[in-house]
Structure 1
Amino acid sequence: MLPLMMNHPAGFTAFRSGEMEIFSVTDGEVIYEARCFAPGIPRTLLGNSPRHFILPHNILVLRFNNRVVMFDAGNGHYTAPEAGQLQFYLHAAGITPESVTDIILTHAHPDHINGLVGVGEQLMFPEARIHLSQAEYDFWVSESPDFSRSKNIPAALLQMQQHIKGILRVLDNRLQLFHSTDALLEGIHPVAAPGHTPGHTLFAINTGEEQFIHMADTCHENELLFHHPEWGTIFDIDFEQAAQTRQATLQELANNGKLVFGYHLPAPGFGKVIQGGDGFAWKPQ
């Protein structure tokens, strides 16, 4: 990809590949406690791992063929001022909320969907169709979702489910549900990657000149889970399945050498997965 402008201090970075403009727009950074990562692993095995993790939230935006396609929508007002900055930086990049035609959700965790709905249940992207996997939708709106394979606190999971269910209710007439075998839009193909959530989805994106992979929440940071994919997070709904998916995904990306975009990886989020010791490593581009 060729850089159009390298303007991260302004909250976005822009590239061009073929006829496609590609933006990485920040929603801000949020502090997460270290206990959220590698649950059950003795802290002595974590080496120099920090006491907390500062996670970026990178929003991928594509402009092509009279479409503006955004992947996920950030934290909204819930974590301001550290995050919830997406609207401001979209404007800085020359993208208005009204111009967004499609929003593709990698999954429905709050830090990916809260930015869709504002105070008073206002739709923040009023013209956008919102694409979400059928498996993801079915799980979160269920009357009795199965959290038995998560390492998070059951009460916290149930509270989160009710919050997500409320957001999806507001979005109902905007939602377009897809299966992992569907081609969503020209050049954008979903890849099922369950475990983190039941409908967690990666996307293969063809720009006309190359293909890159949006790997969503496969890894939340650029050290721990690359080195030890099996260690996981408390955010994984099915902990063991997420670990298996993470291992397989990182191995495939290391083997094929494709460019990768990560939602939580250091801005602007682009890099490659390489073999590193007994595990993997992140190589920023």
Structure 2
Amino acid sequence: MADFKTTARLLAVTAVMVAHQGFAFAQMPQQQPDAKAFKLGKFDIVALHDAQFVQPNDGKIFGLDHSPTEVADLLKAAGAPTDTVTLSVDALLVKSDRHLVLIDTGVGGALQGSLAKAGYRADAVDEILITHSHPDHVGGLVLNGKLAFPNATIRMSETEWSYAKANEKLADIVKVIADHVKTFKPGGEVVPGITSVALSGHTPGHVGYQIKSGKERLFDIGDTVHSSIISLAKPEWAISFDGDKPEAEQNRVKTLTTLAKSHERIFAPHFPFPGVGYIAAEGDHFKWTPNDKSE
């Protein structure tokens, strides 16, 4: 069970997230640490659980131009509850012979406990790669007003860092991390074996990270998708989280189409933990096949 301080902090960060993104959570179940390790070539990979949110199917988050009944039909067909949508919040750890890299930091719920469960210390992380600056991806950067990962360089795209600094609701986080942030232009290698990929629409500087070791690949697609049911069944439906909804929808369809053809394994931080698997085409839409085993 998370202790009182952890729970209180999670609630505080979530409040920032609610204010920032304009939605409310129906429930926030108790956050439990969890870690799932697997190999990718010479890399050790660990999916780390941070939080889980249960959100109402009320037409304010998913399928903005469609009714809750239409969303409920998709959920029912997948055997899921029809009145709520559950999203996981997870991060990805990549260990090479040179670096211990953390991709995103969640809201800072169970992340530290999950890291410990995987056998790692926060001060061993030397690189943090941020997909984008929404609080459920950067909230875990700060713990009790200080750097949660004191020895890490924090990297995000130039555009995203400018966007984060202009967001007054992130001011407390920005103040703590500012001297440790290094920016990049998407498209190049940010640390050995990990390349940034521009994924437009969600936030101005949103990126994914393609991890490669030998012939094996894993693509962290950030918030290109959110629900493993709705985002795949109806990728063209608008979602409230996206800043530029038409651009995000276009990117989502394009990215999912490419992934279904390439059969590249992905990590989706809001899919059911551990969020690792494949996208497959199914008629005029897509489906999710979990797979977190070494190949």
TM-score w.r.t. the length of structure 1 is 0.84
Distance 1:44 1:14 in 2: 38
Q: CA deviation at 1:114?
A: 0.5
Q: Does residue 264 of structure 2 align to residue 269 of structure 1? A: no
- Correspondence 1:162-181 to 2 at 5 A: 162-181=168-187
**Aligned ranges 1:219-230 → 2 under 5 Å:** 219-230=225-236
Match in the other structure for 2:43: 20
SS at match of 1:217: helix
Q: From 122, 125, 134, give the equivalent of 1:97.
A: 122
Which portions of structure 1, spanning 4 or more consecutive aligned residues, are displaced by more than 2 angstroms? 32-35, 43-46, 139-142
Among 90, 109, 117, the residue aligned to 2:142:
117
Output one character per residue of 1:192-240: Cα deviation in whole Å (capped at 9) or x when no partner.
0010111110111102240121111111111111011111311101111
Alignment pair present for 1:57 and 2:89: yes
**Aligned partners of 1:275, 1:23: CA distance in 2, in Å?**
27
Q: Deviations over 1:51-87 (max 9, x none)?
A: 22221112110111231100000112xxxxxxx0010
State the secondary structure of the residue aligned to 2:277: strand
* Structure 1 residue aligned with 2:22: none
- Shift of the alpha carbon at 1:252? 0.6
Counterpart Cα distance in 1 of 2:112 and 2:38:
19
2:136 counterpart of 1:130? no
Structure 2: unaligned runs, 5 residues or longer:
1-31, 76-81
Partner amino acid for 1:95? Answer: Y
Asked whether the 8 Å contact 1:225–1:232 carries over to 2, the reply is no
- Distance in 1, matches of 2:61 and 2:50, equals 21
Range that drifts further, 27-36 or 233-242: 27-36
**Helix, strand or coil: the match of 2:147?**
coil
- 1:4 alignment partner in structure 2: none
Amino acid at match of 2:88: P
- The within-5 A match list for 1:1-285 is 11-34=34-57, 35-46=60-71, 47-49=73-75, 50-76=82-108, 84-119=109-144, 121-142=145-166, 161-285=167-291
Question: Is the Cα–Cα contact under 8 Å of residues 33 and 111 in structure 2 kept in the other structure?
Answer: no
Instruction: State the identity %.
Output: 32
Paired residue secondary structure (1:32)? strand
Q: C-alpha displacement at 1:10, in angstroms?
A: 6.3
Count of aligned pairs: 251
Asked if 2 retains the 8 angstrom alpha-carbon contact of 1:17 and 1:209, the reply is: no
Structure 1 residues not aligned, in runs of 5+: 1-8, 77-83, 143-160
Deviation at 1:126, TM superposition (A): 0.3
AA matched with 2:86: I
1:182 CA drift (Å): 2.5
Between the aligned partners of 2:185 and 2:118, the Cα distance in structure 1 is 32
> Which residue of structure 2 lines up, in the alignment, with residue 154 of structure 1?
none
d(CA) in 2 for partners of 1:181, 1:207: 17
Contact (CA 8 Å) 2:208, 2:222: kept in 1 or not?
A: yes
Q: Distance in 2 between matches of 1:270 and 1:93?
A: 17
Checking the alignment, whether the CA contact within 8 Å between 1:260 and 1:272 is kept in structure 2 is yes
1:48 deviates by 4.8
Distance 2:230 2:117 in 1: 33
Cα distance in 1, alignment partners of residues 33 and 259 from structure 2: 30
Shift of 1:186: 0.8
C-alpha separation in 2, matches of 1:51 and 1:224: 13
- In structure 1, the partner of 2:8 is none
CA separation in 2, counterparts of 1:198 and 1:246? 15
Provide the aligned C-alpha RMSD in A: 1.5
* C-alpha distance after superposition, 1:146-187 (max 9, x if no partner): xxxxxxxxxxxxxxx322243122210000101113310111
